[in-house]
Chain A
Amino acid sequence: MGGEALVLGFETSCDETGVGLVRGRTLLADALATSMAEHERFGGVVPEIASRAHLEAMVPTVHRALADAGATIDDVDAVAVTSGPGLTGALLVGVAAAKAYALALGKPLYGVNHLAAHVAVDELEHGPLAEPSIALLVSGGHSSLLLVPDLAQDVQSLGRTVDDAAGEAFDKVARVLGLPFPGGPPIDRAARDGDRSAIGFPRGLTGPRDAPYDFSFSGLKTAVARWVEARQRAGEQVPVADVAASFQEAVADVLTAKAVRACRDHGVDHLVLGGGVAANSRLRALAEQRCAAAGIVLRVPSPRLCTDNGAMVAALGSRLVAAGVAPSSPDLGADSSLPIDVVSR
């Protein structure tokens, strides 16, 4: 235990400034600053506002993480940072900071893939990942289905959204229903009092000839907006709870059906959920039900670790250190569209 490396992880791919500390698979600190409130009136994340906030929050967030862990900066053995995918300007603040800490401390640096980090974080709560696993990652920025034979160096993309990320659809539907941004939590809350079979919203890309593991949420989002507008034009009350519940059901149905199918097709009996949308109560419930029926072990990190944070980056960094993967070169940069098969670079 004492022999394991203390890894400092940085995450700045979107609007959360995350700094985490992990030793082995033990979570020591998960400090977070968010600029979410500043984006609220724009109905989405404004990259320049997020980048400015990252710079402001960086050093104070490192201090908070160290204080939470009862560690000093000199205790750090390795530094990890999200190198992509994400918003370029936002990524660069974290990459530059991580490179500077690593250089100043004389410690190795690992530039890592944000999506793989979403999978790695589950090891902090549920122990070593079963390999291979299937991972379903859904957030405002991504919707991906992955096959993970070896988290340290072999992660494969099975499918992804062809248009909007699932989280974006939540944001847009929330706006149509007059609910606040970000849309995930208020829709989840509104749906509690609704009937999820009230409205049969479309399930995108579920036809026999569609790509089995790709997602599409644009048509669903438009269908919800049309349905709501039609009620409004007719001067009728919009049943917000029923719309929210039926929309949420359509999203959860497609996501879980495709994830379970990916497990079956690949003979994999472990499924990991991650990303902010994994905090959605209906998605979790339906995933549990369908995984149980299919004999699949479902692993879902606690909601706090599902959303973007620094601990997930430290967790993947820790895994890379343990696996003896070579650190990044000194000219590491950010890659906004880093492919998923590049776990570290």
Chain B
Amino acid sequence: MLVLALDTATPVLVAGLARWSPDGGTSVLAERAVPSSNRHAELLTPAITGVLADAGLAMGDLDAIVTGLGPGPFTGLRVGVVTAAAVADARGLPVYGVCSLDAIGSGERTVVTDARRKEVYWAAYDHGGARVAGPGVVRPEELARPGPFVGDPVFEGRLGADVAAAEVTTAGLVRAAEPQLIDPSSAGALVPLYLRRPDATPPTAVKAVSQA
């Protein structure tokens, strides 16, 4: 089956096309990783058009959509999730959400990505690649994991450990979605992994506008 994989949880948006089958595994036909910082909404649909052109395929050839649900900075994250939901809805296709951190690196590892506000999003995986802890958000100094670390090397100093640079990949997204691709009835709702509550505080009392 032909899978369109999308992720906007990190500053590098990913759009990829992969051929997947339960016995034949995954072969990536086209992939675009676009450094886009806060321009995900501008650049994601052109990237989708691009990978379809690269592979010589059309919208009508797609069989399923996979999308990263984060964690990641909220505004960009929602762009990928709503794009996946809308493409799937328009084409009548199934859509599967995965934890974006699952799609970074492979094997035994702790994944760290930039959560801003001096924190990292993280998750830990065993030697078989199964997630055993996280996803969570924490100050790197307080992340008590043995490593090895993969993800965003900018946190090496604050983790006090090496971080092998690694990013979300099409192959990683499809791998993370495999249980849902095999058993579509196991698919969950497309709800982003926000991990933080919205910043908002109710007004305590009506403020006096004039002085006594």
Given A41-B202, A229-B210, answer yes or no on A103-B59 (Cβ-Cβ < 8 Å): yes
> Bound complex: CA of A96 vs CA of B42, how far in Å?
8
> Bound complex: CA of A175 vs CA of B89, how far in Å?
42
Contact assessment for A73 and B90 in the assembled complex, using a CB-CB cutoff below 8 Å: yes
Residues of A88-137 at the interface with B, using a CB-CB cut-off of 8 Å, are 88-89, 92-93, 95-101, 103-106
For residue A62, CB closer than 8 A to chain B, the reply is yes
Contact assessment for A59 and B89 in the assembled complex, using a CB-CB cutoff below 8 Å: yes
Task: Tell me which of A182-190, A282-290, A311-319, A330-338 binds B.
Answer: A330-338
| Tally of contact residues, B, Cβ under 8 A | 39
Residues of B89-124 at the interface with A, using a CB-CB cut-off of 8 Å, are 89-91
Residues of A158-185 at the interface with B, using a CB-CB cut-off of 8 Å, are 175-176
Which of A51, A63, A100, A106: most chain B CB closer than 10 A? A100
Contact assessment for A99 and B45 in the assembled complex, using a CB-CB cutoff below 8 Å: yes
Contact assessment for B86 and A97 in the assembled complex, using a CB-CB cutoff below 8 Å: yes
Contact assessment for A93 and B46 in the assembled complex, using a CB-CB cutoff below 8 Å: no
> Bound complex: CA of A225 vs CA of B206, how far in Å?
10
Interface of A (DSSP majority class): helix
> Bound complex: CA of A58 vs CA of B82, how far in Å?
8
Q: Which residue of A46, A104, A225 contacts B87 across the interface (Cβ within 8 Å)?
A: A104
Contact assessment for B82 and A52 in the assembled complex, using a CB-CB cutoff below 8 Å: no
Contact assessment for A48 and B199 in the assembled complex, using a CB-CB cutoff below 8 Å: yes
Contact assessment for B90 and A58 in the assembled complex, using a CB-CB cutoff below 8 Å: no
Given A51-B74, A73-B90, A93-B82, answer yes or no on A106-B59 (Cβ-Cβ < 8 Å): yes
Contact assessment for B44 and A333 in the assembled complex, using a CB-CB cutoff below 8 Å: no
Contact assessment for B200 and A42 in the assembled complex, using a CB-CB cutoff below 8 Å: yes
Contact assessment for A92 and B83 in the assembled complex, using a CB-CB cutoff below 8 Å: no
> Bound complex: CA of A247 vs CA of B209, how far in Å?
17
| Tally of contact residues, A, Cβ under 8 A | 42
Given A92-B78, A95-B41, answer yes or no on A48-B200 (Cβ-Cβ < 8 Å): yes
> Bound complex: CA of A184 vs CA of B210, how far in Å?
24
Residues of B18-75 at the interface with A, using a CB-CB cut-off of 8 Å, are 39-46, 48-49, 59, 74-75
Q: Output the least CB separation between A22 and chain B (Å).
A: 19
For residue B208, CB closer than 8 A to chain A, the reply is yes
For residue A226, CB closer than 8 A to chain B, the reply is yes
For residue A69, CB closer than 8 A to chain B, the reply is no
Contact assessment for B74 and A89 in the assembled complex, using a CB-CB cutoff below 8 Å: yes
Task: In the A-B complex, list the 10 residue pairs whose CB atoms are closest, starting with the nearest.
Answer: A100-B86, A104-B90, A48-B198, A333-B42, A46-B200, A100-B83, A225-B209, A96-B79, A331-B42, A104-B87
Can you list 29 residue pairs at the A/B interface with Cβ under 8 Å? Answer: A42-B200, A42-B203, A46-B198, A46-B200, A48-B199, A48-B200, A49-B198, A51-B74, A51-B75, A51-B78, A55-B82, A59-B85, A88-B75, A92-B78, A92-B79, A93-B79, A99-B41, A99-B83, A100-B82, A100-B83, A100-B84, A101-B89, A103-B45, A175-B206, A176-B206, A222-B210, A229-B208, A229-B210, A330-B45
Q: Which A residues form the contact surface with B (CB < 8 A)? A: 41-43, 46, 48-49, 51-52, 55-56, 58-59, 62-63, 73, 88-89, 92-93, 95-101, 103-106, 175-176, 222, 225-226, 229, 233, 330-334
